[in-house]
Amino acid sequence: MVSHLKIYIFCFILFSLLAETGKAFADDDEEKVLSMMFGEDALVVTPTRYLKPLSQVPENIVVVTAKEIEEMNAHTLAEVLNMVTGLQVDVRLVYGNYSSVKVQGADFRHVKVAIDGVTINDLGNNFARIGDIPVQYIERIEIIKGPASSAWGSALSGVINVITKSVDYSVKAGGMLSVSYGEQDSGDYRGEASGKVGNVGYYLYGGKLTSGGFYRNTKLDARNFFAKAEVDISDRTNLMLELGLVDTKRGAGHDESYDIYINNDYRNVLSKLTLKSSIRKDIDLNLSIRYLRQDQDDTYAMGDDSNLLNQTDMIDKGYGTTGTLAWKGEGHTLVVGGEFDDMELESGVLSSGKEKLEKWALFTNDSIVFGRFSVSPGFRYDHTSTNGTFYSPSIGLTYMIAKDYNVKLFVTRGFTIPSLIDTYGVGVYYLPNPDLEVEKAWSYQVGLETKTLKYVWVGLYFFRHDVTDSVWSTYVPEQGKYYTSNNYDLRYQGFEVEFQTTPIYNFLLKGGYAFVDAKNLSTGTDVSGIGHHSCNVNLEYKKNRFTSVLNAHYIKWRDIYEIYNPSSSMIFNINSNIRLIKKGRFVMNTFFSVHNLFNSAQYYSETYKNEDRWVEGGIKIFY
């Protein structure tokens, strides 16, 4: 109770200081007022699968830019998402980590994670490897909090869409080299290049993450590659090819109770070919073909690798295609589209050793503007070969009450397809249930964004997600295995507050607080394993050649069973960058970070405790 009170007092004092700061500088230059998140010029693609002004998006959406990621000195997507309000990341290991992410309390399997629209959730568990995605090739991350099924299908609690960097057409060859080194032989080595050769634009990235391990059996060796080639076929038509590779070997920890060593190998191949064409001035066509293969190998050994207890292999692979047609009329942006996926999972835990998931969908959405109003209806129909069909309607409204107030209303129906292991799993742990239905949810969201304090933008969001046919596993003592079924109805509800100031005396402050409550309506009990309270704060100082960011993260995990004994102290990190040289395009920076400044403990499970304070630093060269 005392720790909760400290967090509440901290957030209250912080917000009060922001308000007073806004008043104190109320007579300053108008041009210093923030370009707020609902600015008319900002465009996003994730809500409708087509460009849309952020001010007209009714969903609760967050955009994280490459600049913000660089200032964090982040290594992987997991580290970035850990600082986003409303997301709860179960951080396991230091970096290149084996982490999962929840959105507004719902389970990780309900969150769709995509790279340029290509879903990377595996077929076996609906798990997305956010700790294996390097940040260097990320241009921005668009995050929808709440069901996004009317545009994306199986996405009951949200979408995290990683959008990769664009080709730099301004030079023949330009790029970046970076080397960082830290305690326990942790290293991050990166290089990228971009430019234009003839009529072909290109972007290349290669990187390596290594660590000797901060705890027993936590060594890491991760190699990554990403490439993009783009060519203009005509003035109106563009063709782009993308290829991504991930190869990770890690020690995933050690269970001291039974002396069990856990190791994980992961390989990912992603490719996508996209054709974009402006058929007419007001009609855009987008066609893409994609291929994805993910290989996972988990081993459990007692004492050492020679005494193997269990091994789980999963290979999911397949192809898909997406097509959209967008019409931009007077006060309208109408999008119609379709998707098809043919995926297959090979694993020894499946009853037949191999199972397929075929799905197709048709979707449409519109953005209609009436003065200060915008209305966003949407509808999608999904058919799956494993768990039947589903339709997902949505309706959203934004209303700019005045220059500094934007109100959002959003109602939608979402779903998630059960994993293939939940449906067909056998072996040591599972009993199959081919009659599983999709998990369903109705969602209701209200938001208010304002900058009336002039120097402080504030967003306040309320949400309620009513989930039916939730998939839960129940232990069957007679057979010593788990049986998965559509057992319960759940309710996730709560609110979020986010804020950001304009730079004042070279300081900028931003952050947020999220409260999530989850009830099992079928049993009347609380849901365990959610981030009940969380708070993020970033204090940035920037002057001339020096930038430093102090960030703080707090999360209070709810563990009603008292099995995992989570710890909920606030973690502080300092990330600093200094520009050493700047001559034309050539820039050299040095950077350093101090992680977990006060040696605090913050983890969901004692098996995966967070690291103590550690330091790293390095050099970046831009050319």
Q: What is the pLDDT of residues 127-147, one digit of tens each?
A: 999 999 999 999 999 999 999
Beta carbons of 65 and 163 less than 8 angstroms apart: no
Alpha carbon separation from 281 to 284, 334, 389 (Å, rounded): 8, 14, 36
**CATH code (residue 400):** 2.40.170.20
Give the pLDDT mean for 90-94: 70
Residue range 444-468: average pLDDT?
92
> How far, in Å, CA of 206 to CA of 227, rounded?
9
As a whole number of angstroms, the distance between CA 148 and CA 160 comes to 10
Can you give the pLDDT at residue 304? 67
Least confident of 183-187, 219-223, 260-264, 276-280: 260-264
Residue 17 has pLDDT above 60, yes or no: no
**Amino acid at site 252:** A
Question: What residues contact residue 155 under an 8 Å CB cut-off, 6+ apart?
Answer: 110, 111, 112, 144, 147, 148, 149, 414, 416
Strand 481-501 versus strand 430-431 pairing type: parallel
- DSSP state for residue 46 in the 8-state scheme: T
- Mean pLDDT for 415-431 is 88
pLDDT of residue 562: 64
The model's pLDDT over 571-599, given as tens digits with 9 standing for 90+, comes to 999 999 999 999 988 999 999 999 999 99
- Per residue in 314-363, pLDDT (tens digit) is 999 999 999 999 999 888 899 999 999 999 999 988 888 899 999 999 99
Phi, psi of 116 (to 5 degrees): 50, 40
Give the mean model confidence (pLDDT) for residues 143-163.
97
Q: Of all residues in the chain, what percent carry a pLDDT higher than 90?
A: 70
Q: Are 323 and 336 in contact (CB under 8 A)?
A: no
Torsion of CA 153, 473, 263, 618, to 10 degrees: 50
Which amino acid would we find at residue 214?
A: F
Collapse the DSSP code of 77 into the 3-class scheme (helix H, G, I; strand E, B; otherwise coil) and give the result: helix
N-to-C CA span, the chain = 53
The pairing of strands 111-115 and 158-164 is parallel
Amino acid identity of residue 281, one-letter, is K
> Can you give the pLDDT at residue 34?
36
Mean pLDDT of 26-35: 37
Question: How far is 562 from 214, CA to CA, in rounded Å?
Answer: 26
CA atoms within 13 A on the CB side of 518: 23
Residues contacting residue 384 through CB under 8 Å, at least 6 positions apart: 357, 358, 359, 390, 417, 438
- Residues constituting the chain: 623
Higher pLDDT, 382 or 429: 382
Q: Which helix (H) or strand (E) holds 10?
A: helix 2-24
Domain-located, residue 587: no
Given this model, what pLDDT does residue 561 score?
64
pLDDT in tens, 350-389: 888 899 999 999 999 999 999 899 999 999 999 999 999 9
Q: Would residue 582 count as lying in a domain?
A: no
**Of 133, 137, 128, 139, the residue nearest 95 (C-alpha):** 133
Residue scoring higher pLDDT (582 or 604): 582
pLDDT at residue 233 is higher than 80: yes
For residue 11, pLDDT beyond 60: no
Give one DSSP letter per residue of 442-467, joined into a string.
EEEEEEEEE-TTSSEEEEEEEEEEEE
Give the lowest-confidence range in 23-27, 62-66, 101-105, 263-267. Answer: 23-27
What's residue 283's pLDDT?
A: 95
pLDDT at 23: 40
Please report, for residues 158, 321, 415, 618, the alpha-carbon distance to residue 154 in angstroms, rounded to integers and kept in the order given. Answer: 9, 16, 5, 41
The residue segments making up the domain with residue 417 are 2-573+600-609+617-622
pLDDT of residue 261 exceeding 70, the answer is yes
Q: In which band, very low, low, confident or very high, does the pLDDT at 99 lie, cut at 50, 70 and 90?
A: confident
Report whether pLDDT(515) > 80.
yes
Mean per-residue pLDDT, 22-47: 52
User: Among 18, 64, 70, 213, which Cα is nearest to 548's?
Assistant: 70
From residue 131, how far is each of 253, 294, 457 by CA, in Å? 15, 14, 31
Average pLDDT, integer, range 147-173: 94
Domain count, the chain: 1
Q: What is the mean pLDDT of the chain?
A: 89
pLDDT band of 306, cuts 50, 70, 90: low
Rounded alpha-carbon distances, angstroms, from residue 523 to 293, 487, 491, 519:
40, 10, 12, 9
Which tokens belong to 264?
């994980």
- Residue, of 259 and 600, whose pLDDT is higher: 600
Average pLDDT over residues 385-410: 93
Please give the structure tokens belonging to residue 291: 């291929």
Angle at 553 between CA 563 and CA 91, to 5 degrees: 45
Can you state the percent helix, strand and coil of the chain, rounding each to 5?
10, 60, 30
Mean pLDDT within 469-481: 87
User: Residue 467 and residue 410: Cα distance in Å, rounded?
Assistant: 16
